[in-house]
Structure 1
């Protein structure tokens, strides 16, 4: 597991430190996305145009984040559009209409002590398994830690106010991938600025989007699961345990969602986790995110591959793998990360990171 501490207070300082710290791995991450984009039919000139459109949208919404990516590009010796394109990889893949097996599985809820806890798998392409790290930002407006990919502003994480972000990709007919604020930039802005769930919701609602994702936001006492797309943002009704995979649950947004294809296992994964959290096997006494993550160990033999394993010879773009497992304990401002799937314990050990 790679970890980087980015101590700069200004965008240029943070970008310079990130460029230095990721110099060994960023080129491979960019090359991996070049190959993935090409496999989906995106031509270089369209990638450049979409990357610049994402840059313009981000500059209008969060100029400091756009400047940070510009500085990262300069410090890394790559064109600005290329860094912005990979930061907007969700948007580019939406523009390409790339088919998806699904992606992450998330569960969050209230533990017996009345505090919120959450956990998720991060499933992505096995060819990009070396392209992520845990980044610590101790001098951000709100110090935070995030698991993200090299070149991306943020993803899953928690900040010093105890606000956590869990993340699932979604697909909607309104997704153009063109000219919106990247969803990963929205996650970063929530992490570095929001003091509680309500503030995070306000940030999410302020962003003009070009692609869809589910944001599960949790602090020590409040949880909100929000489905966000260019067609709108909907908060799902409260539940004892919030379960989300990769399909819309809000009826209004679901009406415009892209059909769930035969290659997707989002519905079976959701059914498995819903069953686990509804009965004795759901471990309602889970007191930490690491204990909650035990629910994510389900495999195909259990009804669905929540913990996902790719065939070694799977073609590029179809080799889905659980690259990391993440748990959030907002009351302790703690993010726990396991390299690989949850079934890797106890050989693999949790690494704990505290924000602030």
Structure 2
């Protein structure tokens, strides 16, 4: 089971509670990321911290509460604030390197990818509720955790995060609003633009009361990093592909599936670099869509089986690292699998690839 922590109070208190409870896990994640910054991005610790420091100043203006949360994590864990800030903008740091149109040879030979996500509409689910879920594929060894957060206004949030990243990234709240995510890259990505960072947007989305308010958070300009946000509430789900140059919105009466590629970037003025591993993203999306469509009205067990799919392993919906990745020191795998029922406010999550690890149930 993943570590589970209840948090409450203003942002600084929430951050301090996380920092104190997960100090060892946070130290581990910091060591891992600064090493991967050097291995995969060719960024020295000094360069990475400089980017984190610049972003911290921007975050103080964009959302003072989030900045206070970072201060709380730093104080609770005993880590430098600049390191915690750098960790919280690791998406901008890493994906910027992946987005270059002529990647240098030191970038990963294997796919960083990220996730395979779905939304199953109420009319096509076994119990008549809206379901969201995903496998979260990322760097092997990153320490994740589950948080149950009670905000000062009474909103309750159940969300997966990485130890040291504030607020949550995949989850649902007591208003029945759910969020899944996918990493994307486009030619316009530029960390130095200092637009509202990815994890600040997920933090804000999970604290909204309506789907439209959450959509506004995702689309807020300026956008200086690409990403995919799969949102749902009530009987509606929508998928938002964002980039600095354009936005694509997708809806479907039966199901939505998304991995780590834009579905039709040319239609929305989005330029995508020629990245060789995108074919693996297409495979995962097509395979998950097929598994969901094979059952007339899927239920929980069907959704779990779909996320356990190993067709095309190791680059499957349920991802494991290849021997080449281990040889390069850059392994990726499914670190958590999440399924959410937005009608009953339940969440099931596995600690590691779900074909090897069980799902544990939680409720908001």
User: Shared fold (TM-score greater than 0.5)?
Assistant: yes
Does the aligned pair in 1 maintain the 2:19–2:164 contact within 8 Å?
no
Distance 1:250 1:175 in 2: 18
2:39 aligned with 1:52: no
Distance 1:249 1:71, change over 3 A: same
Does the aligned pair in 2 maintain the 1:272–1:303 contact within 8 Å?
no
Q: How does 1:188-337 map to 2 (within 5 A)?
A: 188-192=203-207, 194-206=208-220, 208-251=222-265, 252-253=267-268, 255-262=270-277, 265-278=280-293, 281=294, 283-288=295-300, 290-301=301-312, 305-311=316-322, 314-315=326-327, 318-337=330-349
2:135 aligned with 1:121: yes
Does the aligned pair in 2 maintain the 1:108–1:116 contact within 8 Å?
yes
Shift of 1:196: 2.5
Distance 1:304 1:2 in 2: 24
Shift of 1:235: 1.1
Shift of 1:342: 2.6
Q: Which residue of 2 aligns with 1:146?
A: 159
Distance 1:176 1:286 in 2: 40
Does the aligned pair in 1 maintain the 2:2–2:351 contact within 8 Å?
no
Distance 2:362 2:197 in 1: 25
SS at match of 1:127: coil
Q: Which residue of 1 aligns with 2:9?
A: 9
Q: Which residue of 1 aligns with 2:354?
A: 342
Q: What TM-score do the two structures reach when normalised by structure 2?
A: 0.88
Shift of 1:340: 1.8
Q: How does 1:55-134 map to 2 (within 5 A)?
A: 55-97=56-98, 98-99=107-108, 100-110=111-121, 111-128=125-142, 131-134=143-146
SS at match of 2:337: strand
Shift of 1:254: 6.8
RMSD in angstroms over aligned alpha carbons? 2.2
Shift of 1:263: 7.1
Shift of 1:317: 5.7
Does the aligned pair in 1 maintain the 2:96–2:185 contact within 8 Å?
no
Shift of 1:303: 10
Distance 2:329 2:261 in 1: 19
Q: Which residue of 2 aligns with 1:42?
A: 43
Q: Which residue of 2 aligns with 1:24?
A: 24
Does the aligned pair in 1 maintain the 2:12–2:65 contact within 8 Å?
no
Q: What TM-score do the two structures reach when normalised by structure 1?
A: 0.89
Count of matched residue pairs: 345
Shift of 1:46: 2.0
Of 326-335 and 299-308, deviating more is 299-308
Distance 1:104 1:254 in 2: 24
Q: Which residue of 2 aligns with 1:184?
A: 199
Q: Which stretches in structure 2 are left out of the alignment for 5+ residues?
A: 99-106
SS at match of 2:8: coil
Shift of 1:301: 4.3
SS at match of 2:35: helix
Shift of 1:16: 1.6
State the Cα deviation string for residues 64-120 of structure 1 (Å, max 9, x = none).
Answer: 011111222133222222111111111000233355441211121211444211221
Of 220-229 and 132-141, deviating more is 132-141
Distance 1:316 1:70 in 2: 35
Distance 1:315 1:87, change over 3 A: farther
